Structure 1
Amino acid sequence: MPQTADDATAPRPAPAVRATSLRLADFRNYDSVAIGFERAFVAFFGENGAGKTNLIEALSLLSPGRGLRRATYGDMIRQGGSGGFHLRAAISSVGNPTEIVTQVRPDPGGILSRTVKIDETPARTGDELLEIARVLWLTPAMDGLFTGPAGDRRRFLDRMVLAVDPGHGRRAADFERAMRSRNKLLSDNRLDDSWLSGLEAQMAELGVAMALARADFIRMMAEMIARGAADSPFPAARLALSSGYDDLDLSGPALDVEDAVRGRLRAARYVDRSAGRTREGAHRADLQVIHAAKEMPAALASTGEQKALLIGLVLAHARLTAAVSGLSPILLLDEIAAHLDPGRRAALFDLVETLGVQTFMTGTDASLFDALGDRAQMLRVSAGRVEPA
């Protein structure tokens, strides 16, 4: 339905999930910083190296995993600091105030470990964070996604699946653990049938569940992309999935598919031992992205088209995440405006606003966000300091 003038000027409700404050100690280049967030759009601007991306990296740690850089904990700790870091964030999640505290400290043996507390209660797993917020991001490091290795696309896909299916991360971790154990037995020439059969049964069950979850996600994304295609200034992508199971038909009953995968793993033991790896499985999946209007693989598109396709995918994923989870995601867009012309930049901001999400952005110059007007909270970042513009 077209937006009316009254719709355009009416204040939009606050996102259902939003960060209201962030405190950091000894994180990256920040000795200590406390920031309150007042708008649905928050723009950090400043010179390269000032610490803008560090701030949204900290916000990305409000989700499971190692954040948008996938850095080691040691890399996140401020040099010359306490030897660890501390992050405290206040979140309003569907009207419920919640405090998340995560910190990294060395144990007595000097090994860094991370703890997470939600309202002062230790979280048993990082997946509990997904009950409070879903955090999505787009960074310049992802610009080579379509031309890079399959592993990068697989991680991108699994991160998207995790936002709509919180159990996916645990399945993937358990699959990797079982596969490593199988590979180790094979490499050590320990062909104990009972051990290998048990591990292969786990890999079959978990791997098929992962493949089916990915396929279901691709279907839902296709529907969401189709719904928003007419109103988006970014090209629509068509997604396809290579499951990692070669020619195996995954459409039958799950138990029958698992039986088939178990049989294939058993038959491949000697070949896998010679190869030094498991050659077939969910760990070999790949995401294929097509520029729909041109029927062209994204890898063959221009750099600008690839960026536009990626933006369109992330925005469609944000809509899908909100629709499936009931939680409006927190969106982190690193250096998003630098490579867009003013018209497309303004269109992006308007489109993001319709999503009803809280969005954090970075850029070197405040003028990159002029099209936002007074919709954005502008924060100047300089050498580990953050202050209102």
Structure 2
Amino acid sequence: MSLSVTSLTLSHFRSHHVARLSCDTRPVALYGANGAGKTNLIEAVSLLSAGRGLRRASAADMVRRPEGLGWKLKATLARGPRHFEVETWSDAGAARQIKIDDKPASQLDLASQVRVLWLIPAMDRLWIEGAEGRRRFLDRAALSLFPDHAQHALTYEKAMRERNRLLKDQVRDAHWYRALEAQMAGSGTALHHNRQATLTALAEAQQGATTAFPAADLALVAIDAELPDTAEDFAQALQDSRLRDVAAGRTLVGPHRCDLQGVYAAKGVPARDCSTGEQKALLLSLILSNARALTAMIGTPPLLLLDEVAAHLDAGRRAALYDEICELGAQAWMTGTGPELFDAFDGRAQLVEVTEADGISAISG
């Protein structure tokens, strides 16, 4: 059973005053000149899932300028024979709101209905930049498999911010810390277990696949102290670390102090030491493995968003990628500057030209 977007309407979103697109279940290849709004379209698709979308932007940042009136997205999706509608919007200065089939919905509701994975050019430096980006990459994979992951992350971050405020104020009274540390211990342990389960699922998906993309051996390592396996042990570790944390002015133990390490399995070379092309191939391998793991878990492949991916692959790798997408049965949304980048689909994808002039978007395919 497949998941696909069959219609998408944007209003005052990013560069688009109004844009409408109708699709079938095949992959969608968006092409056009730089600045035409292709990435904005797939960012809109990313907002059909939980979270802040592929750019991690605030609701206010997504509004079309200079009007600043707020924005709205509306999409019809098909899962097998069933169709359902998702609306999400933000009025000027207001938080994002969601409806599913015209009923108010939460981010958790959205996460359980629509799973979306993406790879964008900003992620190309994943292996050589800071640990925060790698944790975020792993957390997106975990969220795709475990919809409650986002709520655990929000609970943990909120409690840690409050604890860090106490630490910076040099508060030493244990009474102020206990409730916050209990929240951090429960949500932090759940986060850690979800991450570990995600790594296991990705490893199994890589091992069982015939693919042209290299496998990566992944490990979650502690930057400082090891994270305990149980909430009780984590709460004790937070208590034991208070004096050290007061001196530092921040929390030094927990899942926010972990890093994702990757190794090019066939060569035994750390991902950070691989060539740019090898690093890109490893990222694609992980996105495809995540999609296979999710399909095995829920029976439906996710939506895939691949921004400018074709431009960074040679013709052979492009053909291999398109074959894997079609074999998976996923509706992938891809962008590129010209239709020739998608020739290897050979009729298996919808080619859609995106143009923009005088603030008006034109989408044809």
TM range (shorter): over 0.9
Q: Report the counterpart of residue 281 of structure 2 in structure 1.
A: 308
Letter in 2 for 1:120: D
Please report how far the alpha carbon of residue 95 of structure 1 lies from its aligned counterpart in structure 2 after TM superposition.
2.5
Q: Report the counterpart of residue 189 of structure 2 in structure 1.
A: 208
Length-normalised TM-score, structure 1: 0.90
Distance 2:159 2:213 in 1: 41
Distance 1:213 1:243 in 2: 15
Please report how far the alpha carbon of residue 388 of structure 1 lies from its aligned counterpart in structure 2 after TM superposition.
2.5
> What are the equivalent positions in structure 2 for 1:2-81 lying under 5 Å apart?
16-81=2-67
Q: Report the counterpart of residue 357 of structure 1 in structure 2.
A: 330
Q: Name the SS of the counterpart of 2:129 in structure 1.
A: coil
Letter in 2 for 1:388: S
Distance 1:149 1:235 in 2: 23
Please report how far the alpha carbon of residue 248 of structure 1 lies from its aligned counterpart in structure 2 after TM superposition.
5.1
Q: Report the counterpart of residue 164 of structure 1 in structure 2.
A: 145
Structure 2 residue 264 is matched with structure 1 residue 291? yes
Q: Name the SS of the counterpart of 1:338 in structure 2.
A: helix
Please report how far the alpha carbon of residue 48 of structure 1 lies from its aligned counterpart in structure 2 after TM superposition.
0.8
Structure-2 change in CA distance of 1:271 and 1:246 (3 Å): closer
Q: Report the counterpart of residue 238 of structure 2 in structure 1.
A: 265
Please report how far the alpha carbon of residue 113 of structure 1 lies from its aligned counterpart in structure 2 after TM superposition.
1.5
Distance 1:178 1:48 in 2: 42
Q: 1:232 aligned to 190, 195, 211, which one?
A: 211
Q: Report the counterpart of residue 248 of structure 2 in structure 1.
A: 275
Distance 1:72 1:168 in 2: 20
Distance 1:216 1:244 in 2: 20
Letter in 1 for 2:6: T
> What are the equivalent positions in structure 2 for 1:111-190 lying under 5 Å apart?
111-123=93-105, 125-190=106-171
CA RMSD of aligned residues (A): 1.5
Deviation >6 Å, runs of 4+: none
Distance 2:183 2:192 in 1: 14
Deviation string for 1:244-291 (max 9, x for gaps)?
A: 6624563xxxxxx32222222112212211211101101112111110
Please report how far the alpha carbon of residue 243 of structure 1 lies from its aligned counterpart in structure 2 after TM superposition.
4.5
Please report how far the alpha carbon of residue 190 of structure 1 lies from its aligned counterpart in structure 2 after TM superposition.
3.1
Q: Report the counterpart of residue 346 of structure 2 in structure 1.
A: 373
Letter in 2 for 1:269: R
Q: Report the counterpart of residue 3 of structure 1 in structure 2.
A: none
Deviation string for 1:175-194 (max 9, x for gaps)?
A: 11111111112222333322
The answer as to whether partners of 1:136 and 1:332 remain within 8 angstroms in 2 is: yes
Unaligned runs of 5+ in 1: 1-14, 251-256
Deviation string for 1:47-72 (max 9, x for gaps)?
A: 11110000000000001111001112
> What are the equivalent positions in structure 2 for 1:75-90 lying under 5 Å apart?
75-81=61-67, 83-90=69-76
Length-normalised TM-score, structure 2: 0.96
Q: Name the SS of the counterpart of 1:344 in structure 2.
A: helix
The answer as to whether partners of 2:20 and 2:363 remain within 8 angstroms in 1 is: no
Structure 2 residue 75 is matched with structure 1 residue 102? no
Instruction: Tell me the matched-pair count.
Output: 362
The answer as to whether partners of 2:28 and 2:350 remain within 8 angstroms in 1 is: yes
Q: Report the counterpart of residue 196 of structure 1 in structure 2.
A: 177
Deviation string for 1:333-366 (max 9, x for gaps)?
A: 1011001111111111011111011111100011
Deviation string for 1:220-243 (max 9, x for gaps)?
A: 211111111xx2111111111115
Q: Name the SS of the counterpart of 1:382 in structure 2.
A: strand
The answer as to whether partners of 1:94 and 1:327 remain within 8 angstroms in 2 is: no
The answer as to whether partners of 1:138 and 1:332 remain within 8 angstroms in 2 is: yes
Distance 2:361 2:227 in 1: 55
Distance 1:233 1:98 in 2: 35
Letter in 2 for 1:69: R
Distance 1:82 1:154 in 2: 33
The answer as to whether partners of 2:49 and 2:115 remain within 8 angstroms in 1 is: yes
Letter in 2 for 1:239: L
Distance 1:203 1:387 in 2: 47
The answer as to whether partners of 1:27 and 1:76 remain within 8 angstroms in 2 is: yes
> What are the equivalent positions in structure 2 for 1:315-330 lying under 5 Å apart?
315-330=288-303
The answer as to whether partners of 1:290 and 1:298 remain within 8 angstroms in 2 is: yes
Deviation string for 1:20-67 (max 9, x for gaps)?
A: 000000001111111101241111000111100000000000011110
Letter in 2 for 1:163: S
Q: Report the counterpart of residue 8 of structure 1 in structure 2.
A: none
